[in-house]
Amino acid sequence: MAMLFMAPKVRSDSWVKHLRAQDCGLDLRVWPETGPADEIEFILCWKHPLGELKKYPNLKCIASLGFGVDHILRDPDLPPGVSIARLVDEFMVHAMSEYILTAVLCHTRQFDRFQQDQFQKKWQTRRPLRPQNVRVGIMGLGHLGADAARLLRLLGFQVSGWSRTPKHVEGITAWAGPDAMEEFLAQANVLVCLLPLTRATQGILNSRTFTRLPEGAYLINAARGEHLVEADLLAALDSGHLSGACLDVFREEPLPESHPFWSHPRITVTPHSASLTDPRTVAPQIVENYRRVRSGLAPRHVIDIEKGY
Ligand code: NDP
């Protein structure tokens, strides 16, 4: 029985090296060199070719190479009864918190404006926003959102969060469910999206959402490009209702050269790098999950297919 690496756009060398380092006897194959399809029990995947996963009759687990599983669930031909597992990794959690903190501080310390001033050789002092006066609202209080919330709180920001079900995070005002969304948005000077991409959250960063934010609010999206209605963001920036945005993820990646986000003076673009998977740190949990599956145990970090995360 074997593990199959199926991530056509990812270089496999480092993955193969670190997975094999966990188990030198590991029967690991790299798609499309699968060998007999009935030998594959575990597929490690990222943006696989749609329809491919149903070809393995003894498949027991599909494991994501990242935190999100939207790239797996978008396949209309998923084999029924197969568990889907995600990654949970503390280094990636820290990396994301660092990214959110950097984006918030660049905004409150007005680094984007300083950079534009520098291009024009303009000496212009600008008073930073004080953390105590900035209310950061985080959409999604899961592994990533809750950690970013704690870190921002430590620096003195007023932090709130919004999730599907009620959550308790020390020092953070938490709202839950669609009915509480308006109240949550109305107080957020900085809106951070760390939601999974699901039917319920697709397009959630739209003009309706932006209108409910206070005048001059700032947007940070480090979740998925499909959360954002891009034209609505451009309209909200052009009207001045939003003061700027920092975006790590896009509907089309790489962001096309002609895309207006590249040259927008109020948008910071980063190339889906907020929190990158490191094969070295996640290989142990992947191989452990493979062993669990082979011994008939349920894998860890299984997602709920109905909920979509
Ligand atoms: P989790 O599953 O741990 O947490 C998701 C959070 O979102 C939970 O608090 C959940 O609520 C909440 N949520 C889900 N659906 C809704 C909804 N309809 N309304 C309100 N709240 C909702 O996810 P992670 O924190 O691990 O990751 C979040 C996403 O970040 C990933 O799915 C991925 O897309 C993205 N990501 C981006 C990376 C990058 O480099 N840019 C890297 C890693 C991840 P509840 O607690 O009630 O379940």
**Per-residue pLDDT reduced to its tens digit, 35-51:** 999 999 999 999 999 99
Mean pLDDT of 132-152: 98
11-31 residue pLDDT tens: 999 999 999 999 999 999 999
**Whose Cα sits closest to atom 3 in ligand 1?**
142
User: Which pLDDT score, from 0 to 100, does residue 175 have?
Assistant: 98
Q: Domain check: are 172 and 226 in the same one?
A: yes
Any domain includes 167: yes
What's the 65 CA to ligand 1 centre distance in angstroms?
16
Instruction: Tally the residues of the chain.
Output: 309
Ligand 1 pocket test: pick from 96, 194, 201, 285 the residue with the most ligand atoms within 8 Å of its Cβ: 194
User: Which pLDDT score, from 0 to 100, does residue 49 have?
Assistant: 97
Q: Domain check: are 62 and 129 in the same one?
A: no
Is residue 222 within 8 Å of 100, Cβ to Cβ? yes
Is residue 89 within 8 Å of 275, Cβ to Cβ? no
Is residue 217 within 8 Å of 188, Cβ to Cβ? yes
SS3 sequence of 87-103: CCCHHHHHHHHHHHHHH
Q: Which CATH number characterizes residue 185's domain? A: 3.40.50.720
Ligand 1 pocket test: pick from 144, 175, 276 the residue with the most ligand atoms within 8 Å of its Cβ: 144
The pair of structure tokens assigned to 258 is: 């002609």
Is residue 236 within 8 Å of 242, Cβ to Cβ? yes
User: Which pLDDT score, from 0 to 100, does residue 27 have?
Assistant: 97
What's the 139 CA to ligand 1 centre distance in angstroms?
8
User: Which pLDDT score, from 0 to 100, does residue 19 have?
Assistant: 98
User: Which pLDDT score, from 0 to 100, does residue 21 have?
Assistant: 97
How far apart CA 157 and CA 132 sit, in angstroms, is 5
What's the 194 CA to ligand 1 centre distance in angstroms?
5
Q: Domain check: are 157 and 251 in the same one?
A: yes
How far apart CA 4 and CA 189 sit, in angstroms, is 45
Any domain includes 48: yes
What's the 2 CA to ligand 1 centre distance in angstroms?
30
User: Which pLDDT score, from 0 to 100, does residue 257 have?
Assistant: 98
How far apart CA 251 and CA 237 sit, in angstroms, is 18
User: Which pLDDT score, from 0 to 100, does residue 233 have?
Assistant: 99
Any domain includes 115: yes
What's the 247 CA to ligand 1 centre distance in angstroms?
16
Is residue 193 within 8 Å of 139, Cβ to Cβ? yes
Q: Domain check: are 107 and 79 in the same one?
A: no
204-257 residue pLDDT tens: 999 999 999 999 999 999 999 999 999 999 999 999 999 999 999 999 999 999
Ligand 1 pocket residues where CB is under 6 Å? 66-68, 96, 140-145, 162-165, 167, 194-198, 200-201, 222-224, 248-249, 272, 274-275, 309
**Whose Cα sits closest to atom 18 in ligand 1?**
200
| pLDDT tier for residue 146 given thresholds of 50, 70 and 90 | very high
Q: Domain check: are 200 and 263 in the same one?
A: yes
58-85 residue pLDDT tens: 999 999 999 999 999 999 999 999 999 9
Is residue 35 within 8 Å of 55, Cβ to Cβ? no
Mean pLDDT, the chain, rounded, equals 97
Q: Is 272 a catalytic residue?
A: yes
Any domain includes 69: yes
Q: Domain check: are 33 and 65 in the same one?
A: yes
Q: Domain check: are 185 and 79 in the same one?
A: no
Q: Which residues constitute the domain of residue 288? A: 2-89+278-294
**Whose Cα sits closest to atom 19 in ligand 1?**
164
- Give the number of the atom of ligand 1 that is nearest the alpha carbon of residue 66: 43
Provide the whole-model pTM: 0.97
Q: Domain check: are 225 and 135 in the same one?
A: yes
User: Which pLDDT score, from 0 to 100, does residue 252 have?
Assistant: 98
Ligand 1 pocket test: pick from 69, 163, 249 the residue with the most ligand atoms within 8 Å of its Cβ: 163
How far apart CA 180 and CA 20 sit, in angstroms, is 47
User: Which pLDDT score, from 0 to 100, does residue 298 have?
Assistant: 96
Q: Domain check: are 72 and 126 in the same one?
A: no
- Give the number of the atom of ligand 1 that is nearest the alpha carbon of residue 178: 19
Q: How many domains is the chain built from?
A: 2
| pLDDT tier for residue 164 given thresholds of 50, 70 and 90 | very high
Angle subtended at Cα 99 by Cα 250 and Cα 281, rounded to the nearest 5 degrees: 95
